[in-house]
A and B are shown apart, each in its own frame.
Chain A
Amino acid sequence: MTTLIRKITVSTVNLPDWLVSIGRKSTSLIMPFIGIVCFLFLWSLSANNIDTSLGKFPGPSAVATQVGNLYQEHIDERTKEESFYQRQEVRNSERLAKDPSYVAKTRAYTGKETFIDQIITSLVTVMSGFIFAAIIAIPMGISIGLSKTLNSAINPIIQIFKPVSPLAWLPLVTMVVSAVYVSDEPMFAKSFINSMITVTLCCIWPMVIQTSVGVASINGDWLNVSRVLRLPALTHIRKIVLPATIPAIFIGMRTSLGIAWMVLIAAEMLAQNPGLGKFVWDEFQNGSSQSLSRIMTAVIVIGLIGFLLDRGMLVLQRKLSWDKTSASR
Chain B
Amino acid sequence: MKHSVKRIKQQVCHAVIATTVALSTISVSLSASAEELGYPEKEELTFGFIKLTDMAPIAVAYEKGFFEDEGLYVTIEAQANWKVLLDGVIDGRLDGAHMLAGQPIAANIGYGTKAEIITPFSMDLNGNAITVSNKIWEEMKGNIPKQPDGRPVHPIKADSLKPVVEKYLDQGKPFNMGMVFPVSTHNYELRYWLAAGGIHPGFYAPAKGDTSGQIDADVLLSVTPPPQMPATMEAGTIYGYCVGEPWNQQAVFKGIGVPVVTDYEIWKDNPEKVFGITKEFAEKNPNTTIRLTRALIRAAKWLDEENNKNRGEAVKILAQSNYVGADAEVIGNSMTGTFEYEKGDKRAVPDFNVFFRYNATYPYYSDAIWYLTQMRRWGQISDDKPDSWYKEIAQNVYRPDIYKAAAESLIAEKLMNSSDFPTLATDNGYRNPQTHFIDGIVYDGNKPNEYINKFAIGLKAGDKI
Contact = CB atoms under 8 A, between A and B. Distances in A.
Nearest to B331: A288
Contact of B68 (A91, A283, A287, A288): A91
A112 B227 contact: no
Contacts of B68: 87, 91
Nearest to A269: B80
A272 B321 contact: no
A88 B71 CA distance: 9
B84 A272 contact: yes
Interface in A51-80: 53-54
Contact of A282 (B76, B91, B254, B321): B321
Interface string A81-121: 00000011001000100010000010110101000000000
Given A91-B68, A272-B79, A288 B254 contact: no
A289 interface: yes
- The secondary-structure label for the interface of chain B is loop
Interface string B36-65: 000100011000000100000000001001
B256 A286 contact: no
Given A53-B254, A272-B80, A288 B234 contact: no
A291 B327 CA distance: 10
A112 B75 CA distance: 8
- Sorting the interface of chain B by its residue count into under 10, 10 to 19, 20 to 34 or 35 or more gives 35 or more
B327 A289 contact: yes
Interface residues of A, number: 25
Contacts of B324: 286
A158 B91 CA distance: 34
Contact of A286 (B44, B71, B321): B321
A112 B322 contact: yes
A147 interface: no
Contacts of B330: 288
A285 interface: yes
B93 A190 contact: yes
A3 B73 CA distance: 86
A270 B102 CA distance: 26
A285 B227 contact: yes
Contacts of B43: 105, 107
B326 interface: yes
A178 interface: yes
B230 interface: yes
Interface of A: 53-54, 87-88, 91, 95, 99, 105, 107-108, 110, 112, 178, 190, 272, 281-283, 285-289, 291, 294
Given A287-B326, A289-B327, 11 more contacts: A95-B39, A99-B39, A110-B75, A282-B321, A283-B321, A286-B324, A286-B326, A287-B230, A288-B319, A291-B325, A294-B321
19 contacts: A87-B65, A88-B73, A95-B71, A99-B39, A107-B44, A107-B73, A110-B75, A112-B321, A282-B78, A282-B322, A282-B325, A285-B51, A285-B227, A285-B325, A286-B321, A286-B325, A286-B326, A288-B321, A294-B321
In the A-B complex, the 7 residue pairs with the smallest Cβ-Cβ separation, listed nearest first, are A286-B325, A112-B322, A285-B227, A53-B254, A107-B73, A110-B75, A288-B327
